[in-house]
Structure formats: C-alpha cells, structure tokens
C-alpha cells in the first residue's frame, strides 16, 4: 500500500511511501486486540482502593444482647459485617496489582491488527518529519487544520521521542503524540486518524522485524 507524503501545510510533496503489507495489510485478529486492550486498561488501575474490615472499624465493643433466650442469632459486636456500619468481609485492600501477562507475539499481533484496520479504513495520513524549534501549540494546531483533522481525535507517531512536538500538542484536546517504539494497540484504536511521520514507518518496521 502506497500513500502520499504530505507536508505541514497539508499539501502533497510529490513523494510516496510504501506501507509494508506484513504490518499494515494483515487480517485483523479481534481476540488479540481484545486481550491487548484489556491488558492496557488493567495496567492503568492504581489498585489503591480499600475498605475497612471488622478489625479496623471503630465501634463499641459492648455485647449487644444476651447470649441466649432472644430467639435470634447471637451477636457480640457492632463491628460485625451483619450490622449497618460494620466492617466489610474480605474488602479490597490497597496496593492490589491488576496487571495482566500477555505474550509478546500476541501483543505484536494486536498492534499489527490495529494498524491494518486503520489502513483498510483509510484512517492513516503520512507527513514529513516535523522540525519544530520550540514548543508552539498554535503551530501544531495549524498543522492539524491544514490536514483537515482539527476536530478529530488524532495520534501522531514520531520516529523517536520528540519533546518539542509533544509539548506543542499537550494542551490540545483529542490529540496525542507518541514514538514508534512506544506505540500500543489502545492508542491506535482510540484515535480516529493515525498520523505517521515518514521516519516513524522505518522505526515501525524495525520494531516488528
């Protein structure tokens, strides 16, 4: 698959780049994509939520009623989970790890599937490598407007980590910037349009080599 390379003004440069079929042209594996997104979302959970159990609740320790003769079950403390305000049975504890293990081959297949889906639906745009001297949000916004992507959610993939480009896009909604080596399935699927710099495609080839 060949795509035209555009400049920051949204005009064709007269150059084309070939997207490798083994990365951008495979049959998407929906289950692999599901597992990768599930792992990503699980890793975002902090696991700091907690609930007080019986031993942590502050309440009177006076025996509520006599042991026998009431016709009901015996009860010895208001801290019991059976009473309102009592502790919780096996409640969540802080520092719980929700992360999931996923094989490298499955993660690689999921990323290929996400990229192939974007390519098949025509949601990939290739631009020249950006050379911004200083962080300027207005300059990045103008580039998106020139590409007719100002109102859409976009993900720009650069060849390497570019702090200037990242800082330029940070204040814009629906906009994200990442490097080719940090590209993940969730980011690709979340963006309505994937913007690839010309240099990032070579880095993606190296990543999947």
36 bridge partner residues: none
Q: Report residue 147's pLDDT band, with 50, 70 and 90 as the boundaries.
A: very high
Contact between residue 158 and residue 177 where contact means Cβ atoms under 8 Å apart = yes
Task: State which residues form the domain around 67.
Answer: 48-97
**In the prediction, which pLDDT does 129 show?**
87
CA angle 133, 137, 139 (to 5 degrees): 60
Greater pLDDT, 154 or 8: 154
Residues 115 and 181 in one domain: yes
Looking at residue 137, what is its pLDDT? 93
Same domain, 13 and 75: no
pLDDT at 61 (0 to 100): 82
Work out the average pLDDT over 118-146: 91
* Same domain flag for 202 and 104: yes
What pLDDT band is residue 87 in, cutting at 50, 70 and 90? Answer: very high
CA distances from 25 to 9, 18, 19, 207 (A): 28, 11, 8, 16
Residue 133 has a pLDDT of 87
Is there a single domain that holds both residue 93 and residue 183?
Answer: no
Among the candidates 67, 97, 127, a domain finishes at: 97
Does the structure show a pLDDT above 90 at 14? no
Q: Say if residue 174 is in the same domain as residue 88.
A: no
Domain count, the chain: 2
Q: Bridge partners of 126?
A: 5, 196
Check whether residue 16 and residue 41 sit in a common domain.
Answer: yes
Q: What is the pLDDT of residues 25-66, one digit of tens each?
A: 999 999 999 999 999 999 999 989 999 999 899 988 888 889
State the pLDDT at residue 193: 94
- Are 90 and 104 contained in the same domain? no
Considering the domain architecture, whether residues 186 and 172 belong to the same structural domain is answered as yes
């Amino acid at each position: 698959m060949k795509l035209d390379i555009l400049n920051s003004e949204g005009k064709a440069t007269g150059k084309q780049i070939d997207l490798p079929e083994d990365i951008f042209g495979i049959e998407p594996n929906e289950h692999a994509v599901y597992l990768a997104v599930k792992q990503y979302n699980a890793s975002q959970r902090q696991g700091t939520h907690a609930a007080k159990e019986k031993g942590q609740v502050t309440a009177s320790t006076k025996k509520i009623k006599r042991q026998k003769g009431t016709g009901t079950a015996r009860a010895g403390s208001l801290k019991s989970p059976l009473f309102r305000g009592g502790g919780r049975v096996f409640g969540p504890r802080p520092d719980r790890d929700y992360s999931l293990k996923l094989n490298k081959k499955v993660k690689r297949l999921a990323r290929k599937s996400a990229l192939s889906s974007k390519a098949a639906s025509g949601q990939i745009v290739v631009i020249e490598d950006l050379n911004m001297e200083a962080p300027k949000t207005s300059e990045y916004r103008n580039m998106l407007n020139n590409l007719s992507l100002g109102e859409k959610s976009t993900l720009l993939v650069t060849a390497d980590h570019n702090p200037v480009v990242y800082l330029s896009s940070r204040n814009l909604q629906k906009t994200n910037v990442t490097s080719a080596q940090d590209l993940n399935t969730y980011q690709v699927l979340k963006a309505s349009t994937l913007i690839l710099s010309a240099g990032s495609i070579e880095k993606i080839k190296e990543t999947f080599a």
